[in-house]
Chain A
Amino acid sequence: MDSEVKNKIVSIEKPQLEAPADWQPVIIGILCNWCSYAGSDLTGTSRIQYPPNIRIIRVPCSSRVDPWFLIKSLQTSADGVLVSGCHPGDCHYITGNYFARRRFLVTKKLLNFVGYHEDRIQFSWVSAAEGPKFAKVVEKVTQDIRKLGPLHLNKKENFNR
């Protein structure tokens, strides 16, 4: 076999184990429309800096978040997921986040059970007035996931979850 082709095949079979130096974590942020999304807006308008690694998706309520969304995010491209909603008792739909809370716990435990690090999936309550808190939360999540490294680097040999 042509040595060039052979090298190519080997490099496909055994991808690089180390993260590239310029690697940046991809974090999906699923925020509720009424509290956390407004909170993140306040962070921006208050000119508070937070890491740009988070990609924000707006949902009507934290109880709109199906565990499927989190699984799909981790399966396709994300290195971590942050879900954020209103504080208990503050839900725009009165009880939405109480229902969400139950699902989050079970999802987190199951993902941990199948070998994903706890910090890959994180949850927070951020109200519309808590701009600085949102910046801190994103800072922490980004740091945690940066420490864990990329999720999709090499699935076969590097259980870097």
Chain B
Amino acid sequence: MDYTKQIQDIAARLFSEGKIDVFVGYRSTGYDENQVPVIITDAGEVDKLVFNDRSVFNLVNYLKFEQTRNKRVGIVVKGCDSRALNLLLTESQVKRDNLYIIGIACEGVLGEDGRKAQNCLECVMPDAVVYDELLGTPSGKREYVVNADILEIAAKGLTERAAYFEDVFSSCIRCNACRHSCPLCYCAKCCIDQDSSALYNGSNTESSAFHALMTWSLHLAGRCVDCRNCEKACPSHLPLHLLHKQNEMVIYQNFQGHLSGLVPEERGAFYKYSLSDPDDFIM
């Protein structure tokens, strides 16, 4: 999977035709094999752009940046990224007319260990679902599989789970990188920062992290697209996908197989309801 040449050509064409002001893509770090996002404003810079199986980040996050706000943007999206973009479009956060989307029929990107990433192995929709131009051969929708880590942890007892997550939460340094790297976290003022008490707000205690991470994951429930930008950004390497995958599993199993962002114009799971939703846990 190497679309470097095609993306450079498309970006150069878009700049020369005057269709875009900025282009959001990937560039090589220059010192290793990894890649970082880059925002290009000039046609002369297009030879920086690369795309291969190390293009791991979700570029949709950069649509909330100052450099791209209210501008015509060219952007590269993989399957999961395009689902996030779909949600942003339904939530009126970006204008479709301002975007030129290069969709990728993704074959999976590499994880930190050099093998195919876990979320790519479990991916339900590798092809971009919203695009102006598609690169690669679409392979179609796949069957939903429950994350193996979730099943492993759910099989443990309550006390063991509490101990495990106490470790997770106490390793959090409350840098909020997960929030900043999430394409779907766009509120100007986050509710978890509203508390004026420094003890619960900014401190990196276990209790504060529990509050922040749980609230964050529940506000993303029914919307998270499993791009794992948060996990890549986390300096403490917390297994943040556990919280999101747990929510995704509960939503998939109970709410008519809802998976976020797959259908254009379809909003998150909590924006709709069904009369037959489970009710047996309520007295």
Contact = CB atoms under 8 A, between A and B. Distances in A.
Interface of A: 66-68, 71-72, 75-76, 88, 95, 98-99, 101-117, 122-125, 137, 140, 155-156, 159, 161
B200 A101 contact: no
Interface of B: 153-154, 158-159, 161-166, 191-192, 200, 206-208, 210-211, 214-215, 217-219, 221-222, 242-243, 246-247, 250-251, 254-255, 269-270, 273-275, 277-279, 281-283
B247 A105 contact: no
B277 A105 contact: yes
Nearest to B192: A68
B207 A75 contact: yes
**Most interface-central of A72, A102, A117 (chain B CB within 10 A):** A102
A117 B282 contact: no
Given A114-B162, A115-B162, A123 B281 contact: yes
B210 A75 contact: yes
A113 B153 contact: yes
Contacts of B158: 112, 115, 117, 159, 161
A15 B269 CA distance: 43
21 contacts: A67-B221, A68-B215, A71-B218, A75-B200, A75-B211, A88-B275, A98-B273, A101-B277, A103-B270, A110-B214, A110-B218, A111-B214, A112-B158, A113-B242, A115-B163, A115-B165, A124-B283, A125-B282, A155-B166, A156-B166, A159-B162
> Chain B interface secondary structure, helix, strand, loop or mixed?
helix
Contact of A101 (B165, B217, B242, B279): B279
Which of B154, B166, B200 has most chain A Cβ within 10 Å?
B166
Given A76-B200, A114-B165, A115-B166, A109 B246 contact: yes
A161 B159 CA distance: 8
Given A103-B270, A110-B217, A115-B161, 5 more contacts: A68-B219, A101-B282, A105-B277, A106-B250, A114-B161
Contacts of B191: 66, 68
A107 B254 CA distance: 13
Contacts of A159: 158-159, 162-163, 166
A93 B66 CA distance: 39
Q: Indicate the member of A72, A109, A111, A114 with the most B CB atoms within 10 Å.
A: A114
A26 B14 CA distance: 62
Contacts of B219: 67-68
